[in-house]
Chain A
Amino acid sequence: GAVVSQHPSWVICKSGTSVKIECRSLDFQATTMFWYRQFPKQSLMLMATSNEGSKATYEQGVEKDKFLINHASLTLSTLTVTSAHPEDSSFYICSARTSGSYNEQFFGPGTRLTVL
Chain B
Amino acid sequence: GENVEQHPSTLSVQEGDSAVIKCTYSDSASNYFPWYKQELGKGPQLIIDIRSNVGEKKDQRIAVTLNKTAKHFSLHITETQPEDSAVYFCAAYKRTNAGKSTFGDGTTLTVKP
Contact assessment for A57 and B103 in the assembled complex, using a CB-CB cutoff below 8 Å: no
When C-beta atoms are compared, the residue in chain A nearest to B4 turns out to be A43
Contact assessment for B100 and A49 in the assembled complex, using a CB-CB cutoff below 8 Å: yes
Would A43 and B42 be within 8 Å (CB), given that A103-B32, A103-B99 are in contact?
no
- Majority DSSP secondary structure for residues of A touching B: strand
Contact assessment for B98 and A108 in the assembled complex, using a CB-CB cutoff below 8 Å: no
Interface size on B, residues (CB 8 A): 24
Contact assessment for B36 and A46 in the assembled complex, using a CB-CB cutoff below 8 Å: no
Separation of A112 and B44 alpha carbons in the complex (Å): 14
The bracket for how many chain A residues form the interface is 20 to 34
When C-beta atoms are compared, the residue in chain A nearest to B45 turns out to be A107
B3 CB–A CB distance under 8 Å: no
A72 CB–B CB distance under 8 Å: no
A34 CB–B CB distance under 8 Å: yes
Contact assessment for B43 and A108 in the assembled complex, using a CB-CB cutoff below 8 Å: yes
Contact assessment for B93 and A107 in the assembled complex, using a CB-CB cutoff below 8 Å: no
Contact assessment for A44 and B44 in the assembled complex, using a CB-CB cutoff below 8 Å: yes
Contact assessment for B99 and A97 in the assembled complex, using a CB-CB cutoff below 8 Å: yes
9 more contacts with CB within 8 A, not counting A32-B99, A107-B43, A110-B43, are A6-B43, A43-B89, A43-B103, A44-B44, A49-B99, A93-B43, A97-B99, A103-B34, A103-B95
